[in-house]
Structure 1
Amino acid sequence: MEKDPRAFVSERPMAPIQIAAVVLCVVLNALDGFDVLSISFASPGVAAEWGIDRAALGIVLSMELIGMAAGSVVLGSLADRWGRRPIVLFCLTVMAAGMGLAAVAPDVGTLSAYRLITGLGIGGMLATTNAVVAEFANARRRQLAVALMAGGYPLGAIVGGSISSLLLLDGGDWRAIFVFGAIVATVLIPVVWLFLPETVAFLVERRPTRALERTNAVLRRIGADKVGALPEIDAAGARPGVAALFQPALARTTILLTFAYFAHVMTFYFILKWIPKIVVDMGFEPARAGSVLVWANVGGALGALALSLLTQRYAVRSLVVGAMLLAAVLVTLFGRGQSDLAGLSLMAGAAGFFTNAAIVGLYAVFAQSFPTAVRAGGTGFVVGIGRGGSALGPILAGYLFQTGVGLQGVAVAMAMGSLLGALALLSLRAPATSPST
């Protein structure tokens, strides 16, 4: 009997092409991290140039999150139908265009529209790269690989934030931040075209044109023998589409994961979106405010690495619940404020450590919970609905600030998201359908 080609990927030690696919997805997620936070780095300059208040700025800060909601759901679902590789390329093109257009926006309304466009590409990329990594990694390293991929997000924020701070020195124009992002996205398009093949799992599940030939081409690159035929498709298995996520086998998982992500990401984006403006309002220079946000992401990167390594020994769901509970505590402590940049940076880094560790772990839970046929679509739905709702985080914080609530009160309110997310994950059962490779 012909061996299932997915077993070659799942059971063998990871070949260079598999490692390269994971590394490339880490880079793509790093670009996502920078693109999302680019408006945070630019926000003091935007507010100063166009004279907008905190409530209006909260809306601008949330626009790409709304775009990410649509991009995650729609493009994630299309990645399950059309393939991982073409959607990654499409998302990169959209991100390059959106960042380039933001650099020439003449007013706040136009900038908001361009951030919405950028968010479409970011959302689709997050959903699709999660599936790519889960399907290129072997079974032994899958959770580690997915967690490392998600850890690319704060890495991009650290590197991009450091570059942004340099671009803003001596009164630098905030538009240069978006120009930088557009250039990086454009450069990555040919890299993905050349070095990221379609996943074997998708080719076996969906049988696109020349599926057998393309499967054997990938198997050859991982050093495996070619197969003479693809295995029979399980007609009773999950099929692509949002409706499949609410069938009895997956409905509870989909709902609880969506709520957990929705609630925790509200907390996560309160920290990431408002740090620069909070620091500037305390009397520090915009370039110094960017450095505090960088430290929040340094903490996030360390949290991602720590959780990635711990997944090799401990159940990922338990790790995420613990990280969420500690995130609620640290965000509350961040709200007490500090008298100097060193103290602010330390608290921001600690809050970033636990908030991002939980985000990284959630991506591993998604890959573990959804089968191949709906993996990108399931991740996309959870990320899309969760991030769409999380757009309320910066808006709600802006409203609370505008009505006179102090930083401590706003921080306590926003920290509740992580607490609720932890409670939702504690209610999660193992999915009825085991995810295939």
Structure 2
Amino acid sequence: MLSALETEGQGNVTTNLPVQSLINAHPFSRYQRVIFVICFAIVLLDGFDTAAAGFLAVSLQHEWGITKQALAPVLSAALIGLSIGSLLAGPIADKYGRKIVIGISVGFFGFTCLLSAFVDSLDQLVFLRLLTGLGLGAALPNVVTLMSEFCPDKSRSFVTNALFCGFPLGAALGGFISAWMIPHWGWRSVLVAGGLFPIVLSIVVFALMPESVRFMAAAGRSSKKIAYILSKITSREVLESDFVVAAPVPHSITAGLSLILSRPYIIGTLMLWLSYFMGLMIFYSLINWMPILLKDTGIQPANASLISALFPLGGVGAIFFGWLMDRFNPNIVVATGYALTAVLLYVIGHVSDSGIYLMLFVFAGGIMMNMSQVSLAALAAAFYPTQARVTGISWMLGIGRFGGVAGSFLIADLMRRNFDFVGILSSLSLAGLIAAIALIVKQVSSRSTNKPG
């Protein structure tokens, strides 16, 4: 295998140089850090705009005189759009490139979010939130994929998880910004801000963000452009070469959906889908219903909201899981996280009468849940080859979003069946166990087919 050093200072053009081997041979450069900052900003705004409707719900209800039930379409429209956008964007990006899809989708969700600020009916807002979700769903998997393909193998999980931390931080930032902006300028100002910043960022993407060199090598793009980008990563001249990816796909398998569902990958693909589905079922069930569930146990509404807010704060802990995944078997690390999530959910159901312990275990459960869920993106990025990586990640995200929708209906049905707080949390803990088992199955399957874990 030729290294980067072997391509420099020579008078001839080398052949069959694996792109990833060159990236692995150099430390994380300033150029890669610039790419990370742009990607992190996109994920941050993705989190902000995804959660935007929730920040506006009370203001909408007050201004338009609508019921809580009438708000449901507004709150779910973006989630449905996210699923559709994720499913559509993967195959497109694996054919035409990550950068162009990222730039267009960021500009698109910014534009539709900006238009949302000028609606005068609930139906218009629902339609535009659906369109915003399409852009959000297309952007996220492509950003994660592009960044992962610029990372050295030894730090890919750490960097990918650090990138994903932007999503909960964006949602939290949106809450603070909304609390400040709405009293001064009204709820429409939040949508204006949520639209203008992505539009500006889309310009930055087209101006400064490079295309993935792994994608360009796999697609047979210009070796001159690949060498130019690699030179900026290594800070040394890289000669033109017949650049290749380390593990080319067999000619009998086409890129995209057919590859991730092909025999070597299908079990791992289905297990990733199942894990992400179950994880989002837990996440959105608790985000949407925990304040009501805690209130029904006798906790004051203000305290119920405060305790519930502790759950999503654990997203930043994903950096620690990324560090573990780069050093130990990543499937086992994440499976352990889901198993511990199941245990903590069960415990939460039994400590609702003890304020301090309830807060402690809700926070701990949120950390473990968020670390596990965020880490699945890094797990998928490592599992799929370059030719189908965006498709693999985006379909996992898209299928998983339906778990979020299913979670809301599940809790409503359990309440209709008179399940108490203990019963509901115990039921949700089963989803955590299923996710853990799915990743164990993925690990066993990957070992038997000699595919990456």
Normalising by structure 1, what TM-score?
Answer: 0.86
Return the match for 2:30 from 7, 12, 16.
Answer: 16
Return the match for 1:351 from 343, 362, 365.
Answer: 365
Return the match for 2:207 from 184, 191, 194.
Answer: 194
- 1:51 and 2:66 aligned: yes
- 1:325 and 2:339 aligned: yes
Return the match for 2:227 from 216, 219, 222.
Answer: 216
- 1:249 and 2:257 aligned: no
Bigger radius of gyration among the two: 2
Query: Could you tell me how far 1:232 is from its partner in structure 2?
Result: 6.2
- 1:225 and 2:240 aligned: no
Q: Which amino acid aligns with 1:152?
A: G
Q: Is the 8 A contact 1:76 1:127 kept in 2?
A: yes
- 1:260 and 2:275 aligned: yes
Where in structure 2 are the equivalents of 1:260-409 lying within 5 Å?
260-274=275-289, 284=301, 295-301=310-316, 303-334=317-348, 346=360, 348-398=362-412, 400-401=414-415, 406-409=420-423
Query: Could you tell me how far 1:319 is from its partner in structure 2?
Result: 1.8
In the alignment, the residues of structure 2 paired with residue 325 and residue 256 of structure 1 have an alpha-carbon distance, to the nearest angstrom, of: 15
Q: Is the 8 A contact 1:102 1:114 kept in 2?
A: yes
Corresponding residue for 1:42? Answer: 56
Q: Which amino acid aligns with 2:230?
A: L
Q: 1:38 to 1:406 in 2, by over 3 A?
A: farther
Corresponding residue for 1:156? Answer: 170
Find the residue that maps to 2:242 and give its secondary structure: coil
Q: 1:420 to 1:105 in 2, by over 3 A?
A: farther
Gaps of 5+ in 2: 1-13
> What percent identity do the matched residue pairs reach?
26
Normalising by structure 2, what TM-score?
Answer: 0.84
Query: Could you tell me how far 1:361 is from its partner in structure 2?
Result: 1.5
Query: Could you tell me how far 1:188 is from its partner in structure 2?
Result: 1.6
Q: Which amino acid aligns with 2:238?
A: K
Over the aligned positions, Cα root-mean-square deviation in angstroms equals 3.2
Q: How many residues align?
A: 429
Return the match for 1:64 from 37, 61, 78.
Answer: 78
User: 1:214-254: CA deviations, max 9, x gaps?
Assistant: 21220221124333332468462553221121111111111
Q: Which amino acid aligns with 1:160?
A: G
Q: Is the 8 A contact 1:58 1:395 kept in 2?
A: no
Query: Bigger CA drift: 223-232 or 131-140?
Result: 223-232
In the alignment, the residues of structure 2 paired with residue 344 and residue 162 of structure 1 have an alpha-carbon distance, to the nearest angstrom, of: 25
Q: Is the 8 A contact 2:249 2:385 kept in 1?
A: no
Higher relative contact order (CA 8 A, sep 6+): 1
Query: Could you tell me how far 1:117 is from its partner in structure 2?
Result: 1.2
Q: 1:418 to 1:169 in 2, by over 3 A?
A: farther
Query: Bigger CA drift: 422-431 or 193-202?
Result: 422-431
User: 1:18-67: CA deviations, max 9, x gaps?
Assistant: 1221232222222222222222333344455443345x544443322221
Q: Is the 8 A contact 1:50 1:108 kept in 2?
A: no
In the alignment, the residues of structure 2 paired with residue 338 and residue 61 of structure 1 have an alpha-carbon distance, to the nearest angstrom, of: 28
Corresponding residue for 1:165? Answer: 179
Where in structure 2 are the equivalents of 1:20-31 lying within 5 Å?
20-31=34-45
Query: Could you tell me how far 1:278 is from its partner in structure 2?
Result: 6.5
- 1:430 and 2:443 aligned: no
Q: 1:58 to 1:403 in 2, by over 3 A?
A: farther
